[in-house]
Structure 1
Amino acid sequence: MQSSPRSLVEHVVSKVPEVTLGFWIIKIACTTLGETGGDWVTMSLNLGYLIGTLIFFVAFVVLVSAQIRARKFYPFLYWATIVATTTLGTTLADFCDRSLGLGYPGGVSIILALLVASLAIWYRVEGTVSVESVVTARVEWFYWATILFSQTLGTALGDWVAGDDRGGLGLGYEVSAAIFGAGLVVVGLLWLWPRASRTALFWAAFVLTRPLGATLGDLLDKPLTQGGMQFSRFYASGILLAVILGCILLIPQRAARRVPVAVRER
């Protein structure tokens, strides 16, 4: 005799890390590496924005596929994928702003539209854009696509505010870093407000940390005449990579909480 169906609860382990202070420290370091690393490939190696974008796009697809196939949260794999999104975001934003001639305002507008569309489609399909929902392959693709667009938007925003060409506001790297840093402080204060949406604040902080990293990266490798410190992009990228690896090893990380999913047993 077949037993009647009954509901069970299965706990699915998320493969993204818990959002803590350590998460944001590593994320900012990764975004800064994305700026210096992306510029090293496209400018220092003279490969150009199109070739650089294609190279990092392949790395992005390979790493996201590996992340999705993984059975659990692996810190080095996760952060390598984040670095892939931030380097691709750097070259993609530069390709739109410079190679396509859209300028900073045009690039920001298009990339912002893509980010909003990604979040809207994700929400329409899944009913949430919370990081805690990233437990299936489909949601992971939404997650990584949204992260890519947010990284690209952050690059374009940072260049627009700091640069004085292509329609930029010309505020310089130090002032731009202060502006985006202040924005993050505001988000942090709103986090203390119980009624604030944690999901909205997460994505706001994710976008803001990218231009902060972009302006810090530009501050490191741009010429002195442009307000930078004129460090070699190669050596700056190497130092940042060492900092990221050290943070991953030293800062405790764990997967986001297990998400209960209703299943049926017959």
Structure 2
Amino acid sequence: MTTEHLLDDRPLVRLRGMANKVPEVTVYFWIIKVLTTGMGETASDLLARLLGPVPAVALGGLALVASLALQLAVRRYVAWIYWTAVVMVSVFGTMAADVLHVGLGISYTVSTPLFLTALAAVFALWYASERSLSIDGIRTRRREIFYWATVLATFALGTAAGDLTATIGLGYLGSVVLFAAAICVPALAHTSAGLNAVTAFWTAYVITRPLGASVADWMALSHARGGLGLGLAPVTLAWTVAIVSFVAYLASPGGQGDR
């Protein structure tokens, strides 16, 4: 799936030498995106168990700030820098949703529409400022900040939505089936019904979060909770190895390379 510009006739004020800061949207993009969502889910839970909730959130927040600072500092897309930032957003986005639920006692039925409203607000501000929500033109600092704010909101929303479906009777495997079917809808609507490419992209992007998280939870959690019982640490490690392998390929001469 690719994206296209929406009413994007305004000239870009670029930083000198700054290229598009996001990867080309290919099948590898979607595979790694789903992997980061699952790895972020189990890594967040694992850190909270090992360190305690407060130190885990603090560590996740520092790692997120550091990875985004590095991503903003470079002037072109670099595979390992970009995907490290996505992983850190995934981990911290999970923590943000969990803090509302576990720490503050806010139910997923409340936090899910809350994060949906936050995402809609980011989209509205982005479009009002840039007249485009396309990722094909992330070549200015302002657009890049809007992009990462959107990514963070989608991860928090997807975490809450995935946990909501898992706790209202579907379970983790049922949630996997639900979101696997749901992610096909924007793709089919784009190819068969003329759905705008930008809308289709962001809809699918949101759904990857609960899809990947539901798969990872199903693999990691105990049989008593409806999972396979593989454990948080093994699943986190396996998904991390998969992410590193795919990113290494993309950064290689045979992959997309670092643009």
Which whole-Å CA distance do the structure 2 matches of 1:201 and 1:157 have between them? 19
Deviations 1:147-196 (A, max 9, x none): 00100100000000012xxxxx1211111111101011112212313732
Q: Which residue of 63, 66, 79 maps to 1:62?
A: 66
- Distance in 1 (alpha carbons) for counterparts of 2:193 and 2:21: 26
Distance between the aligned counterparts of 2:132 and 2:178, measured in 1? 30
How big is the shift at 1:14?
0.3
1:73–1:254 contact (8 Å) kept in structure 2: no
Q: How many residues align?
A: 242
> Which residue of the other structure, out of 15, 19, 41, is the alignment partner of 2:21?
15
- Residue 35 of structure 2 corresponds to 29
Counterpart of 1:4?
none
- Structure 2 length normalisation: TM-score? 0.88
Q: CA deviation at 1:137?
A: 1.1
TM-score (norm 1): 0.86
Aligned to 1:39: 45
- Residue 222 of structure 2 is matched in structure 1 by 223
**3-state SS of 1:102 partner:** coil
Alignment match, 2:137: 133
Contact in 2 for aligned 1:17/1:254 (Cα 8 Å): no
Cα distance, 1:125 vs structure 2 = 1.0
The worse-fitting range, judged by mean Cα deviation, of 190-199 and 75-84 is: 190-199
Look up the equivalent residue of 1:122 and give its one-letter code.
W
Amino acid at match of 1:179: L
Asked if the contact 1:93–1:156 (Cα under 8 Å) also holds between the matched residues in 2, the reply is: yes
Cα deviation, residue 250, structure 1: 2.8
The one of 83, 100, 105 aligned to 2:104:
100
Percent pairwise identity: 33
Q: Deviations over 1:66-102 (max 9, x none)?
A: 1111021110111000001110111110111221111
Instruction: Name the Cα RMSD after superposition.
Output: 2.0
Do the aligned residues in 1 keep the contact of 2:18 with 2:75 (CA within 8 Å)? no
**2:248: which partner in 1?**
249
Q: Which has the larger radius of gyration?
A: 1
By how many angstroms is 1:46 displaced?
4.5
Matches of 1:157 and 1:245 in 2, distance apart?
27
Q: Which runs of 5+ in 1 are unaligned?
A: 1-6, 164-168, 257-266
Q: Which one has a larger percent helix, Structure 1 or Structure 2? A: 2
Partner residue, 2:199 = 200
Aligned to 1:237: 236
Match of 1:82 in 2: 86
Inter-partner Cα distance in structure 1 for 2:77 and 2:66: 17
Q: Offset of 1:12 from its aligned partner?
A: 5.2
Query: Separation in 2 of the partners of 1:104 and 1:97?
Result: 7
Structure 2 unaligned blocks of 5 or more:
1-10
Cα deviation, residue 53, structure 1: 2.5
SS of 1:196 mapped into structure 2: coil
